[in-house]
Each structure stands twice: as structure tokens, then as C-alpha cells.
Amino acid sequence: MHHLKLMKLLYLADRLSWQENDYPITGDDYYSLPYGPVLSKTLDLMHGETLSQIKGANASAWDKWIKSDENYSVKLAKAVDESDEYFWDHLSINDEEILTKIFDKYGHFETFALVEYTHNKDYIPEWENPKGSSKKIDLRTLLQHIGKTPQEIEYIFEDMELKAAFDRAFQGH
């Protein structure tokens, strides 16, 4: 799959997860780039950066499972053993449902049709033309555009802060 198409599908999945579940699937940062919204750390990985080069990236199996090629495509680096009952444990049932909804709705789109879709203010109003550069998409702005109330947004940020505090406590920081 072209990495640009995958990026748009992942952004749409995170956006829908925020809308339905009040949390993202990826935990990545969002930016407006000339071809639409992106997940920043995921884009860095697609461009071949290692996890140690990406500030704040969590350890993952990216290099073990994902292979990029010179044609800007990504694919699985090895076969998936679907009989392994633990393979799918990294995603919640909600995450799997979100990914399925997004792929069912947008998976048939050609790459640049998805780019066009994510540039449309009627569908993705938080994207702003960065004029050849990049611009961070403020999470509060995204949450407002998907219909979250100010109270819901405050709850989401309080929950994120609490989760970060637990992570720091368990990591010994």
C-alpha cells in the first residue's frame, strides 16, 4: 500500500477513535502537511528513521513487521500467523472495529482521492494548508471539530494527564 494512503487511513482511524472512544489508536502527534494530515512519528518511521531517532517514540516492532520500499510503499515484512491467539492482542476490540470501519469506508479510495478528501474542509476542517511546510494540528481543535463539548475535551485532557502520570510512575520517572 502506498505510504500516503496508509497515512490517511491511519489519521482517519485515529480521528474516528477520538470521536467514538475519547482516545486514539496510535497516540501519535498530528500535523498538517501539503498532502493532508499526518501522524508525525509514524511518518518518520515510514521514511526510515529508527525508533531511537524519534523523540518520544515507544519501543515497537515496526522494523520487525513493516517494510518500506523505494516506491513509497509499505508492506508486511513477514507473514502473519493468524492462528496465533496472542498476535491480535495489541489492539482492543474497539480499535479493531474502528480500523475495519475506516477500511470499509475508505480502503477502496485511490491514494490521491484520499488526499483530496482530507483537504476538504467539509470533512477534515482541522487540516490547514501549511504552504509547503508543516503545522501542528492542535488536539483541542480536532476534538472541537468532531463535536466534543468543552467539558468532554477537559475530561479527555485530564484522562490523558492521569495516564501519563501512571506511565511515569511505572517507568520509574
Point out which residues pair with 85 in neighbouring strands.
none
Locate all alpha helices (DSSP H) within the chain, ordered by sequence: 3-21, 40-46, 62-65, 93-106, 111-119, 139-145, 150-171
**Residue 64 grid coordinates:** 520487525
| pLDDT 10s digits, 95-152 | 999 999 999 999 999 999 999 999 999 999 999 999 999 999 999 999 999 999 999 9
With H, G, I as helix, E, B as strand and everything else as coil, classify residue 35.
coil
| pLDDT 10s digits, 60-85 | 667 777 877 777 788 888 788 878 77
Q: Please state the pTM of the whole predicted model.
A: 0.87
How, if at all, do strands 36-39 and 30-33 pair? antiparallel
Q: Residue 99: CA atoms inside 13 Å, Cβ hemisphere, count?
A: 13
| pLDDT 10s digits, 9-55 | 999 999 999 999 999 999 999 999 999 999 999 888 887 765 555 55
Closest among 126, 92, 95, 122 to 17, alpha carbons compared = 95
Closest among 130, 171, 161, 146 to 38, alpha carbons compared = 130
| pLDDT 10s digits, 159-173 | 999 998 988 888 865
**Residue 32 grid coordinates:** 498538517
**Residue 99 grid coordinates:** 480500523
